[in-house]
Chain A
């Protein structure tokens, strides 16, 4: 008889029977191991949370829950399994979770990005037998340029707008993408303003010692005339709404992997689309999978059916599990609210 799978999909999420815990569950459970703080992975209502030291503050802040922490690479015994967290390169504190049971090793990737940025702990490949991978951008049309090149594009866009006396409003996720941009751009160019949802996360991350440039929270009291030509980091949802009005004839842009597609770029009706993603591109997915040495690969969210067929072509034992993770969604409502 074949061994039962170490990780399976139960009603509440990805479940490990040998350790009696869940990874990034979408329904309330007793014990949740959380890869990172994005809302589709870290949800409220669990009895116990375990996350990395760098991921925990944002989860505490967003969910108002107690979070037990673990260092990267530290091994912990849970049930009859050994569990450890390893950098996923997605956002600060994000982790892949390694589960070992009776000599068999599974890794659940969470969301990950192979190429380094200037803020997140760089992705570390982890050897395993079975790799559960995301594939948000699991098609060969997705190829990211180097971090410095992408940031230089934003710098140039900002400089041009500044010369024209316009604000530059850049849409990005409040957690991760926004801070990665802050750390990557040339912040000496001029003042940087932030949407409240972004600034809240900035506060949390600064509090844990991450180096971010000075930013100013946009409030009703702030006099925008004092900050001409500022760069404004906003959430995608704020960019569609009345919040934007105060910036007048601003130039607008989005930073997302989806901006690689002209159709999506045009549909967003922003002036610019910068191709910057916190997920692995096609080559990154391939590299990560190869480096795990896994013989079995299971795709979760993204272009799963295509990706699975590709994996099978490459000789892997491949599968798909249906999860409720969203990957990099352009149209999802932003989870943060401004107080």
Chain B
């Protein structure tokens, strides 16, 4: 695993894209085929299942290190990462061995089938054989969580460099329902397998939030606008008499949304559409919370099915009559999509995402103001002449979201973050005033700069009133402007509201704590937008 550890370290050490691609390409050139394949699998989110519970790992590591469990836990709080804590806390390996990544993955997969008594000696033996980064990576394989700071796009670029196969071809081959156990480097990367093609989705094209003013995009005639729906991105595939529904995270969601099976009755074979899965009733999208009840469920009870029926709000056509039409300009794809969908009866679970027609940017800006009332996040702008690209790219597609809702809130609890943010207080709980009391209503952990996190961390350390495990109650002194995309009534929260995408917009150091918003202010927002 030494080679893989070297790759991991190289990726971990740099934020420069070129350096990452070079390290990966070199690895793909040199590593054994089985290891390359597993690396591709890991980097595209296909990792072996968790082989043992975190609780057992902690106990065994503490025992092996000859330390009481409480001391292990204290150390874990500081490190913020279980795999790393274990790697650091164990004594150095007795005798390091260098076996390939594929060996350790096979080992971890075998572990999953064993009972705990049988697992323990094998895990202890692995800890004895691996040092430093390799031990850390083995633990990551054991615990199932793995992030290497490499996007699928970067990995594909490196693969392309190493194999000479074009990026789009590779991206397409890597999509869909493959697993490293069932395929090989040869079959997955080097050859195009027609049987896998039936269910294989196209890579999604993702947009960035617009940076400057919309006017800067050029003549309005070049652009198409539509609502930016607040649902789950999905790609619906009808091929060979079957249908498949893929998420943006390349998860097959077909069974989770049985309503879409009816699409087979209305769409011809050889059709692939890009769209948004929305909970939808009476011609309107339901709040995201309704859809949320369906996420994560493998099977859907009748009651939920009736209360939160879904449709695919279609906005692009990628394949027509079995032909990949992604190279055709968007304007033409949209016209073909319209022909396919506009006359479908309401029973069909497909809707056409309506065009937000506009003649000038000011007019469009006015339409955008109505987003929140329409239950959408804002607008999408698409260049009519653009092909359907893959990955997140700037230029042809832009999100133009409405400004978030905001409220000024008081920080009352702080908790240290994980990974890169371990040892820094980054996860905060915020409250609003209810008379003389502060009522917590949301958590947020993003939006500040590293420098601000450093400063607030120093402040938290000095202003802790109470500790509950890793959580510190702090003096209510600092006001933050919290931004969020939506607000819903909630029985699960003390404040009675649940926010969508809360984050810290600004640290309001100018604002005294008494001037933070109140529960009544929140309730007014709920009345207006809930």
> Are A and B co-members of a single complex?
yes
Q: Please list the residues of chain A having a beta carbon within 8 angstroms of any beta carbon in chain B.
A: 139-143, 260-264, 266-267, 269, 271-272, 303, 306, 309-310, 313, 331
CB-defined A-B contacts under 8 Å, sample of 27 = A139-B71, A139-B78, A140-B72, A140-B88, A140-B89, A141-B89, A143-B92, A260-B88, A261-B423, A262-B81, A262-B84, A262-B136, A263-B81, A263-B422, A264-B422, A264-B423, A266-B12, A267-B420, A267-B424, A271-B13, A272-B13, A306-B71, A309-B70, A310-B71, A313-B68, A331-B454, A331-B458
9 extra A-B contacts, CB within 8 A, seeds A143-B92, A266-B12: A140-B89, A141-B75, A262-B12, A263-B418, A263-B420, A263-B423, A266-B419, A306-B71, A331-B458
The answer to whether the Cβ of B165 comes within 8 Å of any Cβ in the partner chain is no
| C-alpha spacing A61/B30, complex, angstroms | 55
A272 cross-chain contacts in B, Cβ below 8 A:
13
Given A269-B15, A271-B13, A272-B13, are A139 and B75 neighbors across the interface (CB < 8 Å)?
Answer: yes
CB nearest neighbor in B for A142:
B88
| Chain B residues closer than 8 Å to A331, beta-carbon distance | 454, 458
- Which B residues lie within 8 Å of A271 (CB)? 13-14
Which residues of B are interface residues toward A (Cβ below 8 A)?
12-15, 65, 67-68, 70-72, 74-75, 78-81, 84-85, 88-89, 92, 136, 418-424, 450, 454, 458
A140 lies within 8 A of B421 (CB): no
Q: Pick the 6 closest A-B CB pairs, nearest first.
A: A263-B422, A141-B88, A266-B420, A306-B74, A141-B75, A139-B75
Residue of A with least CB distance to B83: A262
A272 to B10, CA, bound (A): 10
Q: A310 — which chain B residues lie within 8 A by C-beta?
A: 71
Majority-rule SS of B interface residues: helix
CA distance A205 to B85 in the complex (A): 39
Complex contact A141–B12 (CB within 8 A): no
Residues on A with C-beta less than 8 A from B65 are 140
Contact A267 B421 (CB under 8 A): yes
* Cross-chain contact A140 with B423 (CB below 8 angstroms): no
Tell me the nearest residue of chain B to A266, going by C-beta: B420
Q: Please give, as numbers and ranges, the residues of chain A lying within 8 Å of B450 by CB-CB distance.
A: 267
Q: How far is the CB of A181 from chain B (nearest CB, A)?
A: 19
For A260, the chain B residues whose CB sits under 8 A away are: 88
List of B residues within 8 angstroms of A141 by Cβ: 75, 78-79, 85, 88-89
Measured CB to CB, the nearest residue on chain B to A272 is B13
Give the distance in Å from the alpha carbon of A2 to the alpha carbon of B457 in the complex: 41
Q: Select from chain B the residue with minimum beta-carbon distance to A141.
A: B88
Partner of B419, one of A263, A303, A306: A263
Interface pair B12/A263, CB less than 8 Å apart? no
Instruction: Chain A residues near B418: list those with CB within 8 A.
Output: 263
Interchain nearest-CB distance for B338 vs A (Å): 48
A85 CB to nearest B CB, Å:
32
* Residues on A with beta carbons closer than 8 Å to the beta carbon of B85: 141
Contact A143 B81 (CB under 8 A): no
A306–B67 alpha-carbon span in the complex (Å): 13
Q: What residues of B have a CB within 8 angstroms of the CB of A139 in the complex?
A: 71, 74-75, 78
Contacts of B75 in A (CB 8 A): 139-141
Enumerate chain A residues within 8 angstroms of B423, measured Cβ to Cβ: 261, 263-264
- Kindly state the separation between the CA atoms of A121 and B117 in the bound complex, as whole angstroms: 50
Least distance between A294 CB and chain B CB atoms (Å): 21
Q: Are A140 and B15 in contact (CB under 8 A)?
A: no
